[in-house]
Amino acid sequence: MQYLFSDRDRTNFLKQAERRAVQFLCKHMPVWVTSNGLTAIGLVGGGIVLVGLWLARSNVLFLGLSIFGLVLHWFGDSLDGRLAYYRNTPRKWFGFSLDIFVDWVSVVAMGLGCYVYLPRYRVLAFLLIAAYGAAMVIVLLRYKISGEYKIDLFNFGPTEMRVLIAAVLLLEIFRPGSLLQFCVIATVVLTIMNIIELRNVLRLADARDASERATLK
């Protein structure tokens, strides 16, 4: 069932395990479950992350709810498009557009969770959301210019990010301050990588401009 993943080239570390899980779940998904329904489940998962972080202000054990939200988000986000391909009912551009928008809403919801959980560091939460949003924009720019839809950075992709965040939330229960440290590191790393990737995209754009000018001569 490799055709399920033919629309994108993935390089993430958990690629094989994730593909096996997606193939298994697509095969056993009830007929009443739709791709749009899975997209909604992913969106709900992002909201649960926010609620868990908000409740964790009074009881850190509610971070477990946020971890569950991350699992739910992976379930919906990873399966919505794949299920459509499995059932031979893909809506490539509709699904792509909806997925990008819902991903952004989910990122904002999760960022708001950090915003309310770390009230003394709200600017940091804002910068983290901005950095992640910029990364999404750069991905779309690359897709527009080169036709390459690349959502992984080397061996690290959205699934690895969810696993890492879940691990940090679990660590936060036993070692308060871990989430703050993660937000600082993630913001710095994302900002640096955004600068590097933007330079690469601008080089691609410049090369394409030169190629198109050459064809006009």
With tokens 């919801």, the residue in question is 109
Lookup: tokens for 84: 């459509």
Residue 3 is given by DSSP the state G
Residue ranges of domains in the chain, CATH in brackets: 2-216 (1.20.120.1760)
Query: Taking the CB of residue 141, how many other CB atoms lie within 10 A of it?
Result: 16
CA 180 to chain centre: 20
pLDDT per residue over 78-120, tens digit each? 888 888 888 888 788 888 888 889 989 999 999 999 999 999 9
pLDDT per residue over 144-189, tens digit each? 998 888 777 767 788 888 999 999 999 999 999 999 999 999 999 9
Query: Taking the CB of residue 166, how many other CB atoms lie within 10 A of it?
Result: 20
pLDDT of residue 116: 94
